[in-house]
Amino acid sequence: MLAREDRPRLAPVRFEERTLPSLMVATARRVPERPFYRLVAPPGAGGEAVAPRVVTFAGFAAGAGRAAAFLRAAGVAAGERVLLLAENSPEWQMVALGAQLLRAEPAALFSSLAAEPAAAIARRVAPRAIFVSGPAQWAKLQAAAPELVAAGLAALLSLEPIEAAALPAGLASTTARDALGPGAPGLDPGEVAALAAGVAGEDPFLLLFTSGTTGRPKGVRLPQRAMVRAVEYAQGTVGLGSADVGLHFLPYGHVAGHAQVALALAQGHELLMVTRREDFELGFALGPTYLFSVPFVYERIRAGVEQRLAAMPAPVAALLAGSLAAAARRRLGGSRRWRDRLGTLLADRVVGRAVRARLGGRVRGLYVGGAPAPPPLFRFFESLGLPVIELYGMSETAGMISSNLLAGPRVEGCAGYVSPDHEVRFAGDGELLLRGPLLLSGFLEPEDARDAWTEDGYFRTGDLGRQDEQGRLWIEGRSKNVLMLSTGKKLSPEPIERAIAATPPFLGAVLFGEGRPFVAAAVFVERAELERLAAAGQDAAAALLPRVAAALAAFSEFEKPKRLLVIPGAPQEHEALLTPTLKIRRDALLDRLGPAAEEVFAPV
């Protein structure tokens, strides 16, 4: 689709430096004493507040230099790998940047991985060095450790001490305090700058592993140029700058977590690092100007507001609910009615003020990545004047394909405008195809590249999408998830699932029915509603089916589930069903449903 000059578009702001190590050096020189990380500390044993730990940009660069010195002494050289299996910490990124200074390849694993998949990936990576947060993470790799040592593992670095008895012969453990602390051997700023100058755009940035929703996690190799290009578009379109303060908690197994760090490192803005969900409020109290998260965190905030509204006296609750509806009509629908103007003022004064105060009082943008923002979530915050800026990307594109704009316009359900660095086209079935410098350099294993590219070099995203006349991108499902019914009809489940999840009392949905005459759905339902139905003597599946049909009024009949299986609570309450990025694993859900997933199609 041809671009038009009058359309909104993403506009990059280019950096002079072309790699993350060079950006780190430049920022450390420019604002050496400015805080980079402010690590939110949980309360002390007696419940007393603990001051956050501060790492300046100069301190971070020095730590990366000490990490490079440690890794080099362990034999890590260009092209070798360093495995990181740890919760977020400044040291995690120091080790990653230290490896990049040596032109080695950091390999990031989700800290939530179980032992078996973590060990399986470690064997594939064959690292020269490993960084873990402590004994619990090392225990996941311990059984594979002798094989890893035989394959070349020479050093283990840990935030917490590892007992010698837990180590195989030939491997010693060093604490981060001894290797990365102020008294540890390291490189002086000139040596760090010289190493950074030797890093090129095609050198490794990170080896990431896909979430595995459709099979074995693939090892995605991202070069320096892909991440630098991604943050250049982020800088040019999301409205963030050096004065901003970001709340940071996305895991380092997720490309979005690195995109936020890379942008802050390049711009010189501060990150408030929260490592536990229960510490979000402590992070908010430090006054972030923006949040970047998967939708789940924002859903918790919205749910808390709605619960407080529901607990108010009925007339007050009805008045405030009406004011929120008026604010939505005005801000999202363009209403100019005087009643909607008054309702908007009331919503802002009561609900909006409370929400902004909870977020620290300075937030001016809520950035969403990793999954689409459900329409009710988008409408809730946008109606209160809090912009919801959705970004769309994947590991293979350094997290950036398209973005909405802080300055607007924003439309619910829209993935925004495609980066001009991407050449875009759509396959016959609607699959989005990309070519350009934000793409990965390759996969860890050659077999994962099979069928990943078209003959003329376009990357197959696996996502079904379209562009409208305004140039906006819409993502409508995964090509691998398309269901073929026995009637010959095809459907993409994701839009249907989102429509169901956007309708109370549903909290999530998964369609299934490949090869069947109709589709069924597993629906996650509010527990309070299930208790109400049970008290009334109603069968939940039968009672909820008409509500599903009403939510899907805009869909064709063959796309509407004819039977339901009901799961109590939100998907996030069922951790075994989720990927590390909080997406529902269809295979795990069907395994859990067991024979019920077959019986639901039995003739009545």
Say if strands 204-209 and 219-223 run parallel, antiparallel, or are unpaired. antiparallel
Domains in the chain, please, with CATH? 55-199 (3.40.50.980), 295-479 (3.40.50.12780), 482-599 (3.30.300.30)
- Tell me the whole-structure pTM to 2 decimals: 0.86
Residue 74 has pLDDT above 80, yes or no: yes
Following DSSP, what letter does each residue of 322-369 receive, concatenated? HHHHHHHHHHTT----HHHHHHHHHHIIIIIHHHHHHTTS---EEEE-
Of the pLDDT bands very low, low, confident and very high (cuts 50, 70, 90), residue 1 is very low
Give the sign of the dihedral formed by CA 290, CA 295, CA 297, CA 303.
positive
Query: Over pLDDT 90: what percentage of the chain?
Result: 66
400 or 8, which is more confident? 400
The predicted structure's pLDDT at residue 328: 92
593 or 60, which is more confident? 60
CB 419 within 8 A of CB 400: yes
Name the amino acid, one letter, at 105: E
CB atoms within 10 A of CB 212: 16
- pLDDT tens for 9-57 read 677 888 999 999 999 999 999 999 999 999 998 888 777 888 999 999 9
Residue 210 has pLDDT above 50, yes or no: yes
CB atoms within 10 A of CB 534: 11
